[in-house]
Amino acid sequence: MQQHKLRPPFAVLDAHVEGRTPDGEWARGPLGSFRLFCSATLFAALAHIEGDDEVKRAAVKTLRYFRPEDALVYRAGAPGTAGYDKEERRVDPDPGRGAAAPEPRRDRTGQPWRSDSGQRAR
């Protein structure tokens, strides 16, 4: 992606698909870029919770390709399309900037659980 100066995620994942634009709805928008952003965000959050620094670094490095100045705008079309929500939400291209770490899931007794195996956290 580094060789692409403008909108690297869009250039790699969406530009080759006929009809896709950096600002569009559902399959006419940056759908591949949106999926990558969501996946990398999820991996970063889960790796943070699990203490997996290698995966977290890789996910955050991927998220750095999403720059505010690139202005990728994906809008879900309707129920059943990726990212659909009744309320319009803006995605922060710099997650973690001043954000608190998510709380770990807890069992009925309030003890933290590991999300991958159901075993108690270390």
pLDDT-derived band at 67, boundaries 50, 70, 90: confident
Q: Is the pLDDT of residue 21 over 90?
A: no
Mean pLDDT confidence for 9-27: 87
Per-domain residue ranges for the chain?
1-122
Cβ-count burial of 14 within 10 angstroms (0-12 exposed, 13-18 middle, 19+ buried)? buried
Residue 2's SS3 state is: coil
Higher-pLDDT residue of 120 and 39 is 39
Which tokens sit at 73? Answer: 């705008």
DSSP labels for 56-115? Answer: HHHHHHHHTT--GGG--EEE--STTSTT--SS--PPPSSTTSSPPPPPPPB-TTS-BB-T
